[in-house]
């Protein structure tokens, strides 16, 4: 199969920990032809979605040692000419990302197989998507109103505030009832009512980690990666200095994951990363979920193998 991967610049990828690289190594080991391009290389020409993509040959498919790959000369061809397309551009989910999903959606109409489905990506904001599954979420509020945000903190005693388009733990604030800085925090985030803010009851279980639970093709990966905050922090994000520890899923983790997995897979979301703190979902990641390599390195469970199995099965249907 000819596989197109839309990703960040190759030189910027930390191949020893990058999930997309793990996917490509596994696909190459099975004999699939790899092609790569960046988001800006997508275009619409003569009514067709095109990609200016380069062939990529991975010269060491063992996944060990230094990364070894050779990138060939790029040329333009229709996105629908590839057997499958992986949209693996990392956030931020800005308007250029949205435009890319429109181009890829047009490619789907032309017969392309795109994972995750571009319409499904747009329909599942990684913060707001949890609203559909309120039985599994902590108390949550989304509003522009400063008064409502203050009242939420008063009701619950302590809350976490975040923007709906945030990533990697950026612009996340923790506020307690009576905090003299709460007005400044709210004004910083909602820009005096111009931006929506999500508030969630603070979950002290964060000390045990913000757990990334992976769903692949409707199946639940049996291990999660708990991102444990560094000393003095409440954010577990690896980008914010958190430490990743792979663990078997708890009974509650599995219950939540199994409830969501078939539903999200049926919507074209081949790969989903649930974020759970304690017993609660806090986010549903659909753009470029990660943690493949950390789980494999610590447990031996080959997440990339499960992913490529699911990709091949989806393309065969």
> Of 180, 275, 186, whose CA–CA distance to 226 is shortest?
275
- Core vs surface per residue 263-281: b (16+ CB within 10 A) or e: ebbeebbbbbbbbbbbebb
122 is catalytic: no
> Of 54, 51, 52, 63, whose CA–CA distance to 27 is shortest?
63
Distance CA 32, CA 37 (A): 16
Q: Report yes or no: 213 and 260 within 8 Å, Cβ to Cβ.
A: no
247 is catalytic: no
283 is catalytic: yes
Choosing from 150, 283, 294, 296, which is the catalytic residue?
Answer: 283
285 is catalytic: yes
Choosing from 150, 227, 294, 296, which is the catalytic residue?
Answer: 227
Distance CA 178, CA 158 (A): 10
Choosing from 90, 210, 285, 296, which is the catalytic residue?
Answer: 285
- Determine the length of the chain: 317
Q: Please name the residue ranges forming H helices in 191-268.
A: 251-266
162 is catalytic: yes
Terminal C-alpha separation, the chain: 14
Helix (H) and strand (E) counts in the chain: 8, 17
Choosing from 18, 26, 275, 294, which is the catalytic residue?
Answer: 275
> Of 162, 184, 182, whose CA–CA distance to 171 is shortest?
162
144 is catalytic: no
254 is catalytic: no
Choosing from 212, 253, 294, 296, which is the catalytic residue?
Answer: 212
Choosing from 235, 253, 294, 296, which is the catalytic residue?
Answer: 235
231 is catalytic: no
Choosing from 162, 201, 211, 296, which is the catalytic residue?
Answer: 162
Choosing from 88, 89, 113, 127, which is the catalytic residue?
Answer: 127
- Give catalytic residues, as residue numbers: 127, 162, 212, 227, 235, 275, 283, 285
């Amino acid at each position: 199969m000819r596989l197109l991967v839309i990703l960040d610049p190759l030189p910027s990828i930390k191949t020893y920990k990058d999930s997309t690289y793990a996917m490509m190594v596994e696909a190459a080991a099975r004999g699939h032809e790899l092609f790569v391009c960046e988001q800006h290389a997508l275009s619409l020409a003569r009514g067709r979605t095109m990609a200016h993509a380069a062939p990529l040959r991975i010269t060491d498919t063992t996944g060990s040692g230094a990364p070894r790959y050779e990138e060939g000369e790029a040329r333009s061809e229709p996105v629908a000419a590839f057997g499958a397309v992986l949209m693996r551009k990392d956030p931020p989910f800005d308007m250029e990302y949205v435009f890319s999903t429109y181009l890829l959606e047009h490619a789907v109409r032309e017969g392309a197989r795109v994972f995750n489905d571009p319409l499904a990506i747009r329909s599942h904001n990684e913060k707001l998507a949890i609203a559909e599954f309120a039985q599994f979420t902590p108390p949550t509020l989304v509003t522009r109103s400063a008064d409502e945000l203050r009242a939420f903190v008063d009701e619950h005693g302590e809350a976490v505030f975040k923007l709906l388009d945030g990533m990697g733990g950026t612009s996340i604030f923790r506020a307690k009832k009576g905090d003299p800085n709460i007005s400044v925090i709210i004004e910083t985030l909602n820009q005096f009512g111009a931006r929506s803010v999500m508030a969630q009851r603070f979950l002290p279980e964060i000390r045990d980690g913000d757990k990334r639970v992976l769903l692949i093709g409707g199946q639940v990966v049996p291990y999660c990666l708990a991102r444990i905050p560094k000393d003095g922090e409440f954010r577990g994000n690896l980008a914010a200095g958190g430490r990743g520890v792979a663990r078997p899923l708890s009974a509650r983790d599995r219950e939540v994951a199994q409830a969501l997995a078939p539903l999200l897979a049926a919507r074209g979301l081949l790969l989903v990363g649930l974020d759970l703190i304690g017993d609660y979902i806090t986010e549903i990641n659909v753009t470029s979920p990660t943690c493949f390599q950390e789980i494999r390195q610590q447990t031996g469970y080959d997440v990339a193998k499960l992913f490529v199995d699911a990709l091949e099965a989806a393309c065969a249907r």
